[in-house]
């Protein structure tokens, strides 16, 4: 098979079935493509679209993003997950303004020096916004190539990754690079899907090795599974008589870095000591809510929320640093962890009453 026949068939398919009306495909700029590529990392298009639209309405260009506070950026990211992406985006925007006169570099190596931009993301920016010939290797592309060539082995291994990069490079055409880049992502997202691929609509069904052997879902080889450990934590939900809830800003590193969350202790039994230390009070009534689970890449977090109603005058005695009294009925521009958003909604519905 000639090297370019892969790209030719894919582009023919794209001209008929490809997506050309996504928000970041309108008024294409490096900035718009960059934001979309970061949001699309490990997140599906339909989920990203409303976040992207709100984000771009507020942060219209690199300078606007750089001038904004991290709290506000995280607020517009709330619910999208993988918050390191937002922190990197914000930090990179400031670096672009100070080191590159407010414009994203058009050189791959310089792009990759920016926080959160790797080889695939940088290649996508240059291919889609500047039509430069660079291969990409996101999850969709890996899946297409692994099935077409029947590549055994987890893509996280260096040998397998290098082979995939070689194939991605080989198949990337010299012309219509932007269209090809969008096409191979579209094929993986809409046809060569993870669990139920629509092979009857694929331009490669005649010679895709996985399809010919009826083993499409065997590829890509999944990452070796490990049983995720379970960690436990107790959320302390202090709510004053005005309905405001105490939130504490988390450290910039670690889970939910830079977001606002409830104060924590390891166990419910630790709450009296926490109240004594931070409120100089151990006689407060506690209402334990049903636990909820939040899953991260490497572990499950079992959260036990404990509601502690307090008088407004007691709320003025809190000695914790980096806190706000947050009104759930009047959301403010703070980045919030997903379980916190969920619990705040429950507090709004319950108006502080015990939820069973």
Catalytic positions, written as ranges: 37
Tokens of 39: 């949001």
Q: Do 239 and 231 form a contact (C-beta atoms < 8 A)?
A: no
Q: Do 185 and 128 form a contact (C-beta atoms < 8 A)?
A: no
Q: Which residue has the tokens 């009047």?
A: 330
Please write down the HEC assignment for all residues of 254-281.
Answer: CCCCCCEECCEECCHHHHHHHHHHHHCC
121 contacts: CB under 8 Å, gap ≥ 6? 34, 37, 38, 41
Whole-angstrom distance between the N-terminal and C-terminal Cα of the chain?
64
CB atoms within 10 A of CB 295: 10
Whole-Å CA distances, 95 to 14, 98, 101, 123, 251:
36, 5, 9, 19, 22
Q: Which residue has the tokens 């993986």?
A: 188
Q: Which of 194, 197, 190 is nearest to 211 (CA)?
A: 197
């Amino acid at each position: 098979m000639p090297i370019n026949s892969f790209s030719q068939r894919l582009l023919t398919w794209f001209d008929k079935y490809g997506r050309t009306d996504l928000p970041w495909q309108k008024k294409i700029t490096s900035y718009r493509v960059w934001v979309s590529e970061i949001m699309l990392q490990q997140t599906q298009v339909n989920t990203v679209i409303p976040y992207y639209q709100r984000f771009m309405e507020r942060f219209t260009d690199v300078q606007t993003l750089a001038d904004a506070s991290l709290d506000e950026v995280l607020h517009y990211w709330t619910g999208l997950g993988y918050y390191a992406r937002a922190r990197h985006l914000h930090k990179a925007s400031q670096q672009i303004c100070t080191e590159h006169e407010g414009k994203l570099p058009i050189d791959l190596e310089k792009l990759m020096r920016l926080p959160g931009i790797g080889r695939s993301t940088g290649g996508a920016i240059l291919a889609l916004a500047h039509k430069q010939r660079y291969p990409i290797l996101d999850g969709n592309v890996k899946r297409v190539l692994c099935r077409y060539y029947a590549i055994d082995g987890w893509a996280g291994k260096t040998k397998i990754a290098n082979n995939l990069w070689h194939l991605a490079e080989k198949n990337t055409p010299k012309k219509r690079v932007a269209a090809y880049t969008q096409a191979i992502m579209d094929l993986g997202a809409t046809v060569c899907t993870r669990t139920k691929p629509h092979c009857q609509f694929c331009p490669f069904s005649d010679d895709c090795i996985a399809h010919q052997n009826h083993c499409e879902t065997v590829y890509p080889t999944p990452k070796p599974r490990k049983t995720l450990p379970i960690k436990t934590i107790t959320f302390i939900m202090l709510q004053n008589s005005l309905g405001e809830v105490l939130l504490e800003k988390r450290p910039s590193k670690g889970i939910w870095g830079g977001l606002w969350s409830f104060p924590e202790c390891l166990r419910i039994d630790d709450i009296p000591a926490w109240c004594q230390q931070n409120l100089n009070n151990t006689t407060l009534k506690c209402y334990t809510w049903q636990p909820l689970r939040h899953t991260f890449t490497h572990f499950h977090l079992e959260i036990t929320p404990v509601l502690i109603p307090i008088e407004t005058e007691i709320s003025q005695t809190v000695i914790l640093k980096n806190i706000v009294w947050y009104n759930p009925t009047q959301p403010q521009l703070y980045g919030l962890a997903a379980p916190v958003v969920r619990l705040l909604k429950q507090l709004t519905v319950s108006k502080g009453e015990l939820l069973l």
